[in-house]
Amino acid sequence: MKLVYKITLSLLLPLTLTLGIWGWFSFRTMSRKIHADTDLILRSYSSDIIMRFLSGKELPERFNGAYNTYYIQMLTPEEAAEYPAVEYGEAEAFLKSQEDFASSRIRRQIFQDNEGNYRRLTVSLPTFEQEVLVEHVFWWTMMLFIVLLISVMVIGILFMNHNMKPLYRLLDWIDRYEPGTQGAKVPSDTDIVEFRKLSAAVEHAVTRFETQYEERKIFIGNASHELQTPLAVCSNRIEMMLEHPDMTESLAEELIKVHRSLSGLIKLNKTLLLLSKIENGQFLQTSEVDMNTLAADSIALHQEIYGHKNIKADVKGEERFILKSDEQMASVLIGNLVKNAFLYTPEGGSIEIQMSRTGFSISNDGNAPLDKEKVFRRFYQPSGRREGATGLGLALVYSVCINNGLDITYDYADGRHIFSIILKKSK
């Protein structure tokens, strides 16, 4: 989940609660105001009737055009003492104009006439109009609540997305970063202090990593170069010892084992040296290399080596992939992919190379997928060490692709490993 949405969801609950409480108080305040206005009308109506009654003036009609009704009841002193002087309530009142009862707000008030008799005045006002108004207030409050909530969330997301752009640019840069790409400046075009500090920290870490990376490349290249001659000398001397007439059978067996291990070490050293040369840009001569031909030649060679596995291998596709590259690098690319396919294809399996004008894919049978995060790392081997495998083949392939403007991806589908190589699109 993106940070923007995480923050938005974190704010959603308190924001909803805050707006909900505000909406509830607003609704309650407006409802009370409506009821207070109703009570004010009833109080004014009651005062007018009592004043008319005490002054002997003509009383208004019991049922007037405003739906107000009233009636006056005689009370004994004992009855008058049982009731409050003034009270409000809700009741069903008869409306003459409607010839029916309706919900009404009533007001009862006890007063004494000119003779000292106790009377109770009851006035009523239908409340259906107020109820409709309260309902409208409720729905308008709800609508306002929803609109405010959505508006705040949308504006918040847009605002945070805008302010998060420097972070996203930095993350994108880190995602596209490749070791050895010195000069690729870390984006820091922001006025947000925290993001500037983060960019500075990333730049410092990258600078330190690039220094270590270059030192490692130089060390590996120098070490591989220095080891090449002593390893070759040791191998030659073991071969000479094996040819000595006094060599016993038991000693020869041990020397053969040593020679086999030494040969593996020589092969590993040559691979590391080649990898160092590729990364240091020592293959500068380019030509148009026919990858279809290289693929067919590589398959023919490895079918002889791994003939005992009965693997079926084919190159398909009518289009030809012409790569502008150093021929040795192109051979390393296709050769290591084909060798890797033969190494990890079970007996009786199949290998297929599909060529196109912009690249190619190589697929082979396999029992389990490789780790996509580690497959191109040096010395990665999925299921233990295989004979003839150094764990550097795919690392070499990856390095060749990077230095030749190629994208390489790995996938596993329908029980087959699939490596796809395609020319990068020009920007």
Q: Which domains does the chain have, with CATH numbers?
A: 22-137 (no CATH), 193-279 (1.10.287), 287-423 (3.30.565.10)
Q: Are strands 350-356 and 359-365 parallel, antiparallel or unpaired?
A: antiparallel
The pLDDT of residue 427: 46
Per-residue pLDDT at 329: 81
Of 323, 327, 395, nearest to 359 by C-alpha is 323
C-alpha pair distances (Å), 251 with each of 196, 234, 254, 258, 265? 67, 16, 5, 11, 21
In 3D, which of 71, 83, 77, 85 has the Cα closest to residue 117? 77
From the number of C-beta atoms within 10 Å of its C-beta (0-12, 13-18, 19+), residue 164 rates as middle
Q: Check: CB of residue 291 under 8 Å from CB of residue 321.
A: yes
State the DSSP string of 325-384.
E-HHHHHHHHHHHHHHHHHHSPTT-EEEEEEETTEEEEEEE-SS---TTTTTSTT--BTB
- Residues of the chain predicted below pLDDT 70: 1-2, 4-5, 62-68, 92-102, 128-133, 179-184, 213, 215-227, 264, 267-285, 383-390, 426-427
In this predicted structure, what is the pLDDT of residue 281? 61
The pLDDT of residue 68 is 64
Overall pTM surpassing 0.85 (yes/no):
no
What local confidence, expressed as pLDDT, does residue 421 receive?
A: 93
Degrees, nearest 5: CA angle 248-250-256: 95
pLDDT digits (tens, 9 = 90+) for 33-85: 877 888 888 888 889 888 988 888 888 776 554 456 788 889 998 888 888 98
Radius of gyration from C-alpha coordinates of the chain: 46
Span 265-298, pLDDT tens digits: 776 666 666 666 666 665 556 788 899 999 999 9
**Nearest-angstrom CA–CA distance, 271 and 276:** 9
